[in-house]
Structure 1
Amino acid sequence: MKDNPIKNIVFDLGNVIIDIDVPRAAHSFAKLSGRNPEDVVEMFGTAGLFGQFETGQLDAAGFRNYVRELLQNPDWEDAVVDTAWNSLLLDIPPARIEMIQKLGENYRLFLLSNTSSIHIEAVNTILEKATGVPRLDDLFEKLFLSYEMGVMKPDPAIYEQVLREAGLEAGETLFLDDNENNIIAARALGIQTFHVQPPLTMLDFLQDYVA
Structure 2
Amino acid sequence: MNPEPGRSPASLQEFDPAVVRALLFDLGGVVFEFDFAHALAHWAPLSRLSEQELREAFSHDEDYCRHERGELDASAYFDTLRRKLALDATDEQIRVGWNAIFRSEIVQTLDAVQAARAFFPCFAFSNTNTTHHAAFRCAYPRIDHSFDRVFASSDIGMRKPEAAAFAHVCRAIGQPAKSVLFFDDLEENVRGAAACGLQVVHVKSPADVLGALRRLGCLD
TM-score, length of structure 2 as denominator length? 0.80
Q: Please give the alpha-carbon distance, in whole angstroms, between the structure 1 residues aligned to 2:165 and 2:73.
A: 20
Distance 1:110 1:68, change over 3 A: same
Identify the residue that residue 77 of structure 2 maps to in structure 1.
63
Could you say which residue in structure 1 is the equivalent of 2:107?
Answer: 94
* Offset of residue 198 of structure 1: 4.2
Deviation at 1:55, TM superposition (A): 1.1
2:117 corresponds to 1:104: yes
- Following TM superposition, by how much is the alpha carbon of 1:32 offset from its aligned partner in structure 2, in angstroms? 2.9
Deviation at 1:146, TM superposition (A): 1.0
Alpha-carbon separation, structure 2, partners of 1:65 and 1:185: 31
Distance verdict in 2 for CA 1:73–1:137, change over 3 Å: same
Indicate which of 162, 165, 169 corresponds to 1:158.
Answer: 165
Corresponding residue for residue 12 of structure 1: 26
Say if 1:27 and 1:75 are closer, same or farther in 2 by CA, change over 3 A.
Answer: closer
Change (3 A) 1:143 1:81: same
- In structure 2, the residue matched to 1:176 is 183
> Residues of 2 paired with 1:77 and 1:183: CA distance?
34
Partner secondary structure for residue 34 of structure 2: coil
1:188 maps onto 2:195 in alignment: yes
Q: Which residue of 2 aligns with 1:206?
A: 213
CA distance in 2, matches of 1:75, 1:155: 33
Task: Say if 1:145 and 1:50 are closer, same or farther in 2 by CA, change over 3 A.
Answer: same
Q: CA deviation at 1:94?
A: 2.3
CA–CA distance in 2 between the matches of 1:123 and 1:63?
19
- Kept in 2, the 8 Å contact 1:114–1:153? The answer is yes
What is the CA RMSD across the aligned residues, in angstroms? 2.5
Tell me if the contact between 2:109 and 2:206 (Cα under 8 Å) persists in the aligned partners. Answer: no
Segments of structure 1 that go 5 or more residues without pairing to the other structure are: none
Q: For residues 64-79 of structure 1, what are the structure 2 equivalents within 5 Å?
A: 64-73=78-87, 75-78=89-92
Across the two proteins, how many residue pairs are aligned to each other? 203
In structure 1, C-alpha distance between the alignment counterparts of 2:77 and 2:117, rounded to whole Å? 35
Instruction: Establish whether residue 36 from structure 1 lines up as the match of residue 47 from structure 2.
Output: no
- Alignment partner, residue 38 of structure 2: 24
Contact kept in structure 2, 1:16 and 1:201, CA below 8 Å: no
Q: Give the TM-score of the pair, scaled to structure 1.
A: 0.83
SS of 1:107's partner is: coil
CA deviation profile, 1:163-192 (whole Å, cap 9, x unmatched): 122211112110000111111111112211
What's the offset of the Cα at 1:110? 1.0
Q: Structure 2 vs 1, CA of residues 46 and 141 (structure 1 numbering), >3 Å: closer, same or farther?
A: closer
CA separation in 2, counterparts of 1:143 and 1:192? 19
